[in-house]
């Protein structure tokens, strides 16, 4: 590829070369539209056989689109992609903090290591839930922000699988990753989500001990060691390492996948247990027996909270070197690691196809790359909050809505893949005749056709805007009952809160949308001629919405099927208030009197009530209820919903 530093790739001005690999070249560039630095990875066409190039480029585009739609706070996001002189490229966030590899070389305190890798484990949990295996977890693929927050990158060997089977993304040889961090089963092309777990376990082992479990000058030698030698006890390197930490490492690095944690969520939770000082599940009879088999003597254990490095039992174990022979297989294993004949066959394959192996093993840089779009740069370090007590039973998600009117069911997704419902043009009765003539007397209002978000804007959706550098992080990260909320992956599908009017407006504009007017919001909630009290009808109760007394904090945005409006819009009463574009002004509503001027000073209208308004009575979440809020106000009760002109 010719020298391109100083040239423009569309809106991106190439500043300098960052790195060059076998399959891609990475440049630092400047986004002239959003005025920020980015990283651009350009695929090297010359690295591939001509007969394979067309297939590879088509696969690149397909997977760029697929993976670019995912969101997580600890995954480096794909911002854009394009083509330069026939070579495809990806645009991602530029992270100047280096990689985890830069920090290795000596032991890291185990608490610091665990704390750093929990967000990475959560990121992998997220990708596994979306049927994506990374297959190349290693320190150089864990980038760090300037503040030291970990970001997982390089899905170049990603493998997408469906619920009923596995469909390979890459061509022959794609089962290979980076040998030092590969799981045993990965050598034979049987990579699964548990292979990613093993690789992350190797990274944790190296961080804590300063050593990788197995080291060799050749891939074949590494395979032989991994298959025939027992895992070196971490305590050999760090004698005062807590027993619980060693047990977790022994379990996650089990040769047989059946003896590891069941999934990445379980492993991430286990790491959190370590950090919080809670008992870990790894201290099971299997781990005890494994240590006995590998050390040649029975293990003496004590409760986790009583373990001290100076205890005589621990000293005895530490003084016993590991056995040179491999432990006998653990009963009940569903799938065994390759036996010696298989290993020798694999070694023969390396001898015959050595050169091809090295080419295929570098395929990890193919899509360089394909990592999902980001949510935010806040790491998950808080504990999961305890469940809220005395929570009434809510409606099942399989219940059908009780809305009287469903005249239109058209649904679209906007430029950011957010579902929106169509609201037809027409008149409807806006307001409520309750004697409050200054604020909301009923009147007939005409509204043009528009689209409105099917759900409230979630933490995940808002975080994508934050990651793009357009939106600002909410003022507070928790919620009334949760110390971690915005940054917690368990609450990604909950409504974003602690956002003021300007943050809400900026978010909607980032999507190419806008805040709804007050009249649009009410039309979407009420329907046309139906003067119902609530979006679902006239009944007040926990089966229909997250209204006062139901949960005691926010709830998932799609939880209440029975609470849909006549147009199939969720959560328009209860859960959170929602900012509108409208200035607070007297009724009758008049869109032409200046109240929809986004630059006009004054208090803005929020609609929809919340989970904790008016002490549990129905009035606070009626369709017609409106709130007068200063544009700089932010709180645990107010969120966002966007609209789009038809």
Q: What is the pLDDT of residue 110?
A: 96
Calpha distance 580→559 (Å, rounded): 23
Region for 128 from its dihedrals, namely left if φ exceeds 0, alpha if ψ lies in -120 to 50, beta otherwise: alpha
Q: What is the pLDDT of residue 356?
A: 37
Segment 536-545 mean pLDDT: 89
Beta strands in 35-86 (DSSP E): 36-43, 71-72, 78-84
CB atoms near residue 559 (< 10 Å): 20
Whether pLDDT at 592 is above 50: yes
Whether pLDDT at 599 is above 80: yes
More confident call, 81 vs 245: 245
Whether pLDDT at 311 is above 50: no
pTM above 0.75, yes or no: no
- Tokens representing 452? 């409105």
Contact assessment for residue 417 and residue 69, using Cβ atoms and an 8 Å cutoff: yes
Whether pLDDT at 280 is above 60: yes
More confident call, 382 vs 285: 285
Which range of 370-379, 504-513, 521-530, 584-593 scores highest in mean pLDDT? It is 504-513
Calpha distance 375→74 (Å, rounded): 8
More confident call, 383 vs 2: 2
Structural domains of the chain, ranges and CATH numbers in brackets: 8-93 (3.30.200.20), 100-374 (1.10.510.10), 411-645 (3.90.1580.10)
Band of the pLDDT at 353, cuts 50, 70, 90?
Answer: very low
Calpha distance 506→486 (Å, rounded): 18
How many residues make up the chain in this entry? 646
CA quadruple 550, 551, 553, 556: dihedral sign = negative
- Tokens representing 616? 């549990």
Segment 573-582 mean pLDDT: 94
Whether pLDDT at 605 is above 90: yes
Give 464-492 pLDDT, tens digit per residue: 999 888 999 998 888 888 888 997 888 99
Q: Quick one: what percent of the chain has pLDDT higher than 90? A: 37
Give 5-52 pLDDT, tens digit per residue: 989 998 999 999 987 766 778 899 999 988 889 999 887 777 667 776
Band of the pLDDT at 438, cuts 50, 70, 90?
Answer: very low
Q: What is the pLDDT of residue 394?
A: 29
Q: What is the pLDDT of residue 66?
A: 62
Whether pLDDT at 178 is above 70: yes
Hey, is 503 helix, strand or coil? helix
Whether pLDDT at 363 is above 50: no
Calpha distance 569→483 (Å, rounded): 30
Q: What is the pLDDT of residue 626?
A: 86
Give 390-414 pLDDT, tens digit per residue: 333 223 233 333 333 444 468 898 8
Q: What is the pLDDT of residue 506?
A: 96
Within 13 Å and on the Cβ side, how many CA atoms surround 165? Answer: 3
Band of the pLDDT at 529, cuts 50, 70, 90?
Answer: low
Q: Quick one: what percent of the chain has pLDDT higher than 70? A: 71
Calpha distance 610→621 (Å, rounded): 7
First to last CA, the chain: 45
DSSP 374: E
- Tokens representing 332? 């009940």
- Tokens representing 87? 């070579």
* Segment among 98-107, 119-128, 275-284, 520-529 with least mean pLDDT: 275-284
Give 194-205 pLDDT, tens digit per residue: 999 999 999 999
More confident call, 557 vs 46: 557
Calpha distance 497→476 (Å, rounded): 8
Mean pLDDT of the chain: 75
Band of the pLDDT at 368, cuts 50, 70, 90?
Answer: very low
Calpha distance 488→73 (Å, rounded): 9
Whether pLDDT at 360 is above 60: no
Band of the pLDDT at 558, cuts 50, 70, 90?
Answer: very high
DSSP 538: S
Burial of 527 (0-12, 13-18, 19+ CB in 10 A): buried
Band of the pLDDT at 85, cuts 50, 70, 90?
Answer: confident
> With the CA atoms of 287, 289, 294 and 298 taken in that order, what torsion angle do they form, in degrees rounded to the nearest 10?
120
Give 137-172 pLDDT, tens digit per residue: 999 889 988 888 899 886 643 432 333 333 333 333
Whether pLDDT at 611 is above 50: yes
Segment 584-605 mean pLDDT: 89
Q: What is the pLDDT of residue 50?
A: 73
Burial of 106 (0-12, 13-18, 19+ CB in 10 A): exposed
Whether pLDDT at 270 is above 90: yes
Whether pLDDT at 497 is above 50: yes
With vertex at residue 54, the alpha carbon angle to CA 50 and CA 59, rounded to the nearest 5 degrees, is 130
More confident call, 564 vs 290: 564
Give 312-349 pLDDT, tens digit per residue: 322 332 333 333 333 333 333 334 444 444 444 544 44
Radius of gyration of the chain (CA): 28
Strands 132-133 and 87-93: unpaired
């Amino acid at each position: 590829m010719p020298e391109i530093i100083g040239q423009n790739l569309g809106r991106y001005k190439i500043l300098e070369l960052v790195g060059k690999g076998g399959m891609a070249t990475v440049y630092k560039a400047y986004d002239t539209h959003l005025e920020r630095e980015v990283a651009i990875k350009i695929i090297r066409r010359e690295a591939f056989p001509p007969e394979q190039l067309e297939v590879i480029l088509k696969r690149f585009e397909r997977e760029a689109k697929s993976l670019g739609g995912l969101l997580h706070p600890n995954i480096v996001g794909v911002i854009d992609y394009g083509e330069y002189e026939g070579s495809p490229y990806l645009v991602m966030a530029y992270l100047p903090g280096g990689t985890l590899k830069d920090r290795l070389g000596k032991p890291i305190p185990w608490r610091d290591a665990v704390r750093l890798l929990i967000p990475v484990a959560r990121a992998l949990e997220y990708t596994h839930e979306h049927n994506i295996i990374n297959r190349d977890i290693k320190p150089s693929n864990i980038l760090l922000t300037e503040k030291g927050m970990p970001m997982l990158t390089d899905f170049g060997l990603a493998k997408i699988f469906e619920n009923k089977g596995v469909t390979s993304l890459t061509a022959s040889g794609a089962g290979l990753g980076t040998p030092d961090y590969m799981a045993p089963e990965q050598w034979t092309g049987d990579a699964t989500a548990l292979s990613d777990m093993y690789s992350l376990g190797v990274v944790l082992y190296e961080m804590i001990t300063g050593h990788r479990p197995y080291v060799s000058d050749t891939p074949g030698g590494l395979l032989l060691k991994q298959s025939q030698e027992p895992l070196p006890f971490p305590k050999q390197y760090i004698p005062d390492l807590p027993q619980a930490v060693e047990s977790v490492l022994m379990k996650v690095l089990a040769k047989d996948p059946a003896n590891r944690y069941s999934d990445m969520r379980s492993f991430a939770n286990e790491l959190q247990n370590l950090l919080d000082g809670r008992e870990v599940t790894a201290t099971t009879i299997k781990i005890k027996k494994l240590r006995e088999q590998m050390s040649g003597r029975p293990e003496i254990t004590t409760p986790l909270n009583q373990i001290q490095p100076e205890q005589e039992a621990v000293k005895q174990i530490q003084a016993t070197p590991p056995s040179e022979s491999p432990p006998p297989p653990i009963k009940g294993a569903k799938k065994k690691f390759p036996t010696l004949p298989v290993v020798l066959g694999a070694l023969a394959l390396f001898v015959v196809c050595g050169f091809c192996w090295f080419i295929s093993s570098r395929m990890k840089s193919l899509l360089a790359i394909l990592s999902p779009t980001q949510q935010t740069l806040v790491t998950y370090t808080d504990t999961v909050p305890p469940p809220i007590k005395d929570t009434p039973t809510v409606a099942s998600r399989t219940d059908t809505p009780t809305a009287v009117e469903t005249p239109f069911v058209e649904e679209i997704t906007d430029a950011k893949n957010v579902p929106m419902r169509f609201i037809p043009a027409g008149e409807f009765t806006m307001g409520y005749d309750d004697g409050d003539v200054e604020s909301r007397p009923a009147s007939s209002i005409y509204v043009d056709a528009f689209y409105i978000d099917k759900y409230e804007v979630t933490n995940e959706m808002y975080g994508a805007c934050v990651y793009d550098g357009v939106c600002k992080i909410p003022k507070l990260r928790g919620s009334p009952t949760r110390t971690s909320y915005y940054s917690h992956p368990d609450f990604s599908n909950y409504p974003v809160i602690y956002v003021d009017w300007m943050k809400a407006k900026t978010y909607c504009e980032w999507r190419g949308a806008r805040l709804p007017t007050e009249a649009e919001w009410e039309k979407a909630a009420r329907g046309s001629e139906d003067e119902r009290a609530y979006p679902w009808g006239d009944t007040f109760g926990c089966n229909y919405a997250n209204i006062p007394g139901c949960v005691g904090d926010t709830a998932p945005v799609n939880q209440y099927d029975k609470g849909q409006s006549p147009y199939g819009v969720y959560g328009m009463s209860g859960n959170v208030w929602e900012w509108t574009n409208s200035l607070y002004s007297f009724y009758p509503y008049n869109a032409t009197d200046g109240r929809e001027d986004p630059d006009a000073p004054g208090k803005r209208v929020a609609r929809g009530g919340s989970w904790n308004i008016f002490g549990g009575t129905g009035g606070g979440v009626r369709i017609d209820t409106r709130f007068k809020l200063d544009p700089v106000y932010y709180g645990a009760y107010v969120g966002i919903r966007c609209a789009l002109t038809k």
